[in-house]
């Protein structure tokens, strides 16, 4: 094996993936929306997108909303989760999953994730349930789907509602059913980094007719849906959580690409799983066999420094980046140590001493999430849209680092590098 690039060798490859991907098609759709003069408020693009995306996720209903954070918040409000209720939230996720719980004055109870999938660990959920628990949120994290069979059964047994945070899993299916269709409500994000994007935006899905009516009202200043059985009912209290027709126009175009992109990502991820799985000291995030269509927001693998002569994960990520051109990073910081999850910095959350103590994230223990933050390696989904041979160069580069681990560790310790 030749010298690692960080020690002066030639890099294995140069992957320069771009995101978002778009063409004249999105341009034409935006122009059409502009010309229609119908820039917001359930225009034809928004309705068409809602129907198509809900169908893709095998859900009876879907509604566009302002972003993924709001999608979660409206899900909790529609399900009447509120003051003093406990909501079980995985400890490894973007902060919005827990922040939306705070925003309805409920208490996020942070539960650790499963080391194989990095999703909420069903074995720990039951122990976290108390008489105050009202809801469980699963997050289908990076390239995995949470164990919906096990967690769905726990929710049913305990009379809890289940919300699916699908911000990473557009298009993914569990036993041929779209994610977002197995919980009471599914919440999606269309923020710029996501695999279906309009720059910003969000979506809620449900099979339940009355939840659909509530979600409709909640996103639209409390108004009842015209034509619904509830049309003449008194409005609900809410605010404006709508998206624009221009965002919907982009989403119509992006959705036309999604299924093909899912296929490419899944095929490349599966080839990479095999290649990485054969290298000592690294192991990919597990994708459950019950996932019948896989999309990936990011590719993740565990790294064991002991198999690389003690080379730190930071140096490993840096060396791998120089080999491939891909940016490798750590997973999310666990929510008990997240810089952006700071419930006790907002006066609105000071609902009393008991609540203040209950929302302190440091009361939770998240050893697996913490280990993932310290030892896992993540790269973004657009890399998986490249040619398979290029994607597999990541495995070749890892092999090279494995072969050169002693020299790399010496370099890290400041020792002389072999010529």
Ligand X SMILES: Cc1ncc(COP(=O)(O)O)c(C=O)c1O
Residues that bind ligand X (CB under 6 A): 67-69, 93-94, 96-97, 139, 165, 167-168, 189, 191, 202
Say how far apart CA 401 and CA 217 lie, in whole Å.
Answer: 55
Measured from the CB atom, the residue of 73 and 217 that comes closer to ligand X is: 73
Q: Is 194 a catalytic residue?
A: yes
In the set 32, 194, 346, 399, the catalytic residue is: 194
Which segments within 185-277 are labelled E, that is strand?
Answer: 185-189, 202-206
Say how far apart CA 366 and CA 49 lie, in whole Å.
Answer: 38
Measured from the CB atom, the residue of 166 and 401 that comes closer to ligand X is: 166
121's tokens? 């660990």
Measured from the CB atom, the residue of 43 and 202 that comes closer to ligand X is: 202
Measured from the CB atom, the residue of 19 and 230 that comes closer to ligand X is: 19
Measured from the CB atom, the residue of 165 and 382 that comes closer to ligand X is: 165
Alpha carbon distances (Å) from 106 to 21, 82, 359, 416 = 38, 5, 9, 56
Say how far apart CA 50 and CA 238 lie, in whole Å.
Answer: 21
H helices of 104-167, in order, are 122-128, 148-158
Q: Is the dihedral of CA 57, 97, 116, 184 positive or negative?
A: negative
Say how far apart CA 122 and CA 113 lie, in whole Å.
Answer: 8
Instruction: Please choose, from the candidates 48, 51, 61, the residue with its C-alpha nearest in 3D space to the C-alpha of residue 214.
Output: 61
411's tokens? 């370099």
For the bound state, the minimum distance from the C-beta of residue 250 to ligand X, rounded and expressed in Å, comes to 14
H helices of 220-312, in order, are 245-277
For the bound state, the minimum distance from the C-beta of residue 15 to ligand X, rounded and expressed in Å, comes to 23
What count of residues does the chain have?
419
For the bound state, the minimum distance from the C-beta of residue 111 to ligand X, rounded and expressed in Å, comes to 15
Residues marked as catalytic: 194
């Amino acid at each position: 094996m030749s010298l690692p690039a960080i020690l002066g060798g030639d890099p294995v490859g140069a992957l320069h993936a771009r995101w978002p991907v778009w063409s004249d098609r999105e341009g034409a759709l935006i122009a059409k929306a502009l010309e229609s003069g119908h820039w917001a408020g359930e225009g034809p693009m928004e309705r068409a997108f809602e129907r198509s995306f809900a169908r893709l996720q095998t859900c009876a209903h879907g509604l566009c909303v302002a972003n993924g954070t709001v999608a979660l918040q409206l899900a909790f409000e529609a399900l009447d989760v509120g003051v003093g209720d406990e909501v079980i939230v995985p400890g490894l996720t973007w902060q919005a999953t827990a922040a939306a719980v705070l925003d309805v004055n409920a208490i996020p109870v942070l539960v650790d994730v499963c080391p194989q999938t990095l999703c909420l660990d069903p074995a720990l959920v039951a122990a976290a349930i108390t008489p105050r628990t009202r809801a469980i949120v699963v997050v289908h994290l990076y390239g995995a789907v949470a164990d919906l069979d096990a967690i769905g059964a726990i929710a049913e047994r305990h009379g809890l509602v289940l919300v699916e945070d699908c911000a990473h899993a557009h298009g993914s299916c569990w036993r041929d059913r779209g994610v977002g269709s197995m919980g009471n409500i599914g919440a999606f994000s269309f923020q710029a980094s996501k695999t279906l994007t309009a720059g910003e935006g969000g979506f809620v899905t449900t099979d339940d007719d009355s939840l659909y009516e509530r979600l409709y009202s909640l996103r639209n200043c409390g108004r009842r849906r015209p034509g619904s059985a509830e049309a003449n009912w008194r409005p609900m209290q809410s605010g404006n959580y709508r998206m624009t027709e221009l965002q919907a126009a982009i989403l119509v175009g992006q959705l036309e690409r999604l299924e093909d992109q899912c296929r490419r990502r899944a095929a490349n991820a599966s080839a990479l799983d095999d290649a990485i799985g054969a290298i000592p000291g690294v192991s990919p995030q597990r994708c459950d066999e019950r996932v019948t269509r896989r999309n990936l927001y990011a590719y993740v693998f565990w790294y064991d420094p002991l198999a690389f002569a003690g080379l730190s994960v930071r140096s490993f990520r840096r060396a791998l980046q120089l080999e491939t051109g891909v940016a490798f990073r750590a997973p999310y910081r666990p929510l008990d140590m997240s810089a952006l999850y700071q419930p006790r910095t907002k006066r609105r959350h000071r609902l009393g001493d008991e609540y203040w103590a209950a929302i302190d994230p440091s009361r939770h223990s998240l050893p697996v999430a913490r280990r993932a933050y310290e030892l896992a390696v993540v790269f973004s989904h657009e890399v998986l849209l490249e040619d398979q041979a290029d994607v597999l160069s990541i495995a070749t580069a890892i092999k090279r680092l494995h072969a050169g681990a002693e020299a790399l560790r010496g370099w890290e310790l400041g020792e002389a590098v072999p010529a």
